[in-house]
Amino acid sequence: MCKVTVVVRTDDDGIERNEIRNLELLRVQDAAVDPFAPKLDSGMPGDSSAEFPFGANGEGQT
pLDDT on residue 2:
92
> Residue 59 has what pLDDT?
61
The pLDDT of residue 32 is: 83
So where are the chain's domains?
Answer: 1-27
User: Which pLDDT value is given to residue 33?
Assistant: 84
Distances (CA, A) of 27 to 2, 3, 4, 7, 34: 7, 10, 13, 23, 21
Tens of pLDDT, residue by residue over 6-61, are: 999 999 999 999 999 999 999 998 888 888 888 776 555 555 555 666 666 666 55
